[in-house]
A and B are shown apart, each in its own frame.
Chain A
Amino acid sequence: MNQSANQGFPLLKVEHLTMRFGGLTAIDDLSFSAAQTDITAIIGPNGAGKTTVFNCLTGFYKPSEGMISLTHPDRTRFLLERMDDFRICSKARVARTFQNIRLFAGMTLLENLLVAQHNQLMKASGFTIGALLGLVSYQPHEKQAIELARHWLDKIGLVERADDHAADLPYGDQRRLEIARAMCTDPLMLCLDEPAAGLNPKESDQLNRLLLDIRREEQIAILLIEHDMSVVMEISDHVIVIDYGRKISSGTASYVRNDKKVIAAYLGVENEEGQGAEVKP
């Protein structure tokens, strides 16, 4: 649609973000931005602070310092560091998934996707009282919600299993269901915490196509943390590398891959005393 108008438009701007846990500085003066309709990857070794960045963005942690601003296409600006976690999703339209999958295991796939549309449906049901007393017609809204759920189930190829428990799905399907659930909240930015973790090459390929599809059709920004280099290199427009809470490199995938600092962070550097290369596994 108006892709050209919004291309490169900085949706998310993180400035001087710092997060301290007691004496430990998990994120140290990190600044970056993510453009709308871009896929931005945050990579880094274990314990570099990637998930902490996500938790700050989505309100699960309150950052010690710094500003996180999200500007909608209509120029409304939200300061995420001041908002409650659930408002970041409902008002600022940021959705996320979790490193360890957090589905509603005992509920069906369809129910999982309907819970994600809670706020719209709640309004449609007259905050329960309206629907209980029969003052509002809730059914059409529910039908709409089911249609949206069906659309996403179709996208992840799980329509057939709509009425099964989420816990009964294989691991890869659970991952994709979690993404579908996040998408049902109608986000402008989707934060994915290691979406390819534990997926086999085929599933990881499916995931790539799903993410590219989402970007193309929904015109939203995707921010992802990833270890799996095949995902990062293939689909991300922009890669940010962090180590010990600091940004050490950023740019296109091919650029960071050849950056000496990045290679050093991942593989270790030659010891200063010159005792040979120390290679981390």
Chain B
Amino acid sequence: MTAAFSKKQKAVVKGAIISSLMAATMAFLLSIFMLGLRTKSAAGALVLEPRFTLVAGITVLVFSGRLLLHLFWWNKKALSSHSFKQPGWFEQLASSKKIGWFGQLALAQKLKGLGKHGGTIMIALCFILPLLLFFFNLKLGTGLPLRYWFDIATLILTYIMLGWGLNIVVGLAGLLDLGYVAFYAIGAYSYALLAQHFGLSFWLCLPLAGLLAATWGVILGFPVLRLRGDYLAIVTLAFGEIIRIILLNWYQFTGGPDGLSGVPRPSFFGLPFKRYGDQTFHIFFGLDYSSLHRILFLYYIILLLALLTNFVTHKMRRLPIGRAWEALREDETACRSLGINTVNTKLTAFATGAMFGGFAGSFFATRQGFISPESFTFIESAIILAIVVLGGMGSQIGVVIASVVMIGGFELLRNMEGLKYVFGQEFDPSLYRMILFGFAMVAIMVWKPRGLISARLPTIFLKTETAVSPSPQNKGDAQ
């Protein structure tokens, strides 16, 4: 067998073994402290429990994994062309994977087959989904946990809306905003406080909350928008934290860490969703009382709010302001040379994004009925930003896919009971969500550095309507 190896192949194999050994050493050094020793409280004292089999396992896994990657993935051409009269199936599988999963055929291109109707079909599906589930339960007796499903759908839609809102700021205008959750918080507290002190209804507070969030967007934006890139990111990050800390410490006004409870629920054209009362939703429509009515109503509210966000963004992209946002992302100096007031343009992007954040915030408050600063930590901003970045900056459908995968995925982890049989009863898969999230992030950045959907549909056409796939030139090179 060895005789069949050419000199080059020998070198490749040797290199692969050395590189795998180095990776294994690294894994060993890292894991010996992090995984090899575990603190355990036993009989009043803290004892160290060595877990060297785990370390050995990890090391072997890393070594063999890297070796396999070297031999069959990275260097498969060098090795398979000559002596390894290699199985065609492997090549085929590898190449089909490349095209199908990560290759140039972006999902957008595939969705194009569905044509323009894809979006409409999806929206229609969102509208009839709850009714469909109801139908299944009633007629087919599937016994789905409806409340749980609606809650998850509502949660995903909330993140879709937040993602779309942030997409205006980050995806279109190219302003890295790490404190988007501040506007979400402002919206939530605006509604809760306005309802508590002035007794205003949800439907009146919704626009007010949006307006207040937009105002704060402008107030924050005005001094900081002359900053660029990293500096802007740091200041927005600080802004997010400032808002949270104010909410936490201004006890008399916001209730501090106790939060605000008893946030009023929305009503259906003045009909409350209550079990008892004269004019309630179920009495008016002659239905039996069910707590599902309210959940379903909330689902439709957030669906409409999210669609509004999408509709407005979609419209704005085709108006001069949207084009100016994108131009700003491409080259700010050129924008100024063309007579565009970049400060105003950035402020509108910031305010519009903040407004939708505010809407989503007041929806959050009315859904939860209780809000506290706990809900508006930096991790929320990070998740929303991750949704935008993973989905592909500026892509609306990308945000939807990323939200469904991320938020839905987190929920799915909670329900992976089957994994307990593999890893033992103590295994809680949802504890691993952040590490999986990290893996997803790295994987996307390696295979699709511009996000899942990187094709950008031009806002206007002289002749034909086609999605323009991203040009190889990096945006950063424009400088």
Interface residues of A (CB under 8 A from B): 58, 60, 85-90, 95-96, 98, 102-108, 110-111, 114-119, 121-122, 124-125, 128, 131-132, 138, 142, 146, 149-150, 153, 159, 162-165, 167-168, 181-182, 185
Contacts and interface: CB of A to CB of B under 8 A. Distances in A.
B337 A118 contact: no
Contact of B316 (A87, A132, A168, A181): A132
Contacts of B463: 162-163
Contact of B331 (A102, A153, A162): A102
Interface size class of B (residues with CB under 8 A): 35 or more
Given A106-B470, A114-B460, A163-B462, A89 B320 contact: no
Contact of A128 (B321, B459, B477): B321
Of listed B312, B321, B326, B456, residue having the most chain A CB within 10 A: B321
Contacts of B456: 106
Contact of A103 (B331, B458, B468): B331
B339 A185 contact: yes
Of listed A115, A125, A138, A164, residue having the most chain B CB within 10 A: A115
Given A111-B323, A118-B340, 15 more contacts: A60-B333, A87-B339, A98-B337, A104-B327, A105-B475, A105-B477, A107-B327, A108-B468, A114-B460, A115-B324, A115-B327, A116-B338, A119-B339, A138-B319, A165-B471
Contacts of A153: 462
B462 A146 contact: yes
B464 interface: yes
Given A86-B341, A118-B339, A102 B478 contact: yes
Contact of B478 (A105, A118, A124, A149): A105
Contacts of A85: 336-337
A96 B339 CA distance: 10
A117 B333 CA distance: 16
B10 interface: no
Nearest to A141: B320
B334 interface: yes
Nearest to B465: A163
A129 to B, nearest CB: 10
A83 to B, nearest CB: 11
26 contacts: A58-B337, A86-B337, A86-B340, A87-B339, A98-B333, A103-B330, A105-B477, A108-B461, A111-B326, A115-B327, A116-B338, A118-B320, A118-B324, A118-B327, A121-B320, A122-B320, A122-B324, A128-B348, A131-B319, A146-B462, A153-B462, A159-B462, A163-B458, A163-B463, A163-B466, A167-B471
Contacts of B316: 128, 132
Given A132-B316, A165-B471, A111 B340 contact: no
Contacts of A122: 320-321, 324
B458 A107 contact: yes
Interface in B431-463: 456, 458-463
B275 interface: no
A182 B339 CA distance: 10
B473 interface: yes
B340 A96 contact: no
Contacts of B471: 105-106, 165, 167-168
B340 A115 contact: yes
Per DSSP, chain A at the interface is helix
Interface of B: 312, 315-316, 319-321, 323-324, 326-327, 329-331, 333-342, 348, 456, 458-464, 466, 468, 470-471, 473, 475, 477-478
A118 B338 contact: yes
B320 A102 contact: no
Contact of A89 (B324, B337, B348): B337
A110 B461 contact: yes
Contact of B468 (A118, A124, A138, A165): A165
Nearest to A92: B339
A114 B320 contact: yes
A138 B315 CA distance: 12
A107 B326 contact: yes
Given A164-B468, A165-B471, A98 B334 contact: yes
B321 A185 contact: no
Shortest 8 CB-CB contacts between residues of A and residues of B: A89-B339, A90-B339, A162-B462, A104-B330, A121-B320, A102-B334, A167-B471, A115-B327
B470 to A, nearest CB: 7
Contacts of B462: 110, 146, 149-150, 153, 159, 162-163
A149 B459 CA distance: 15
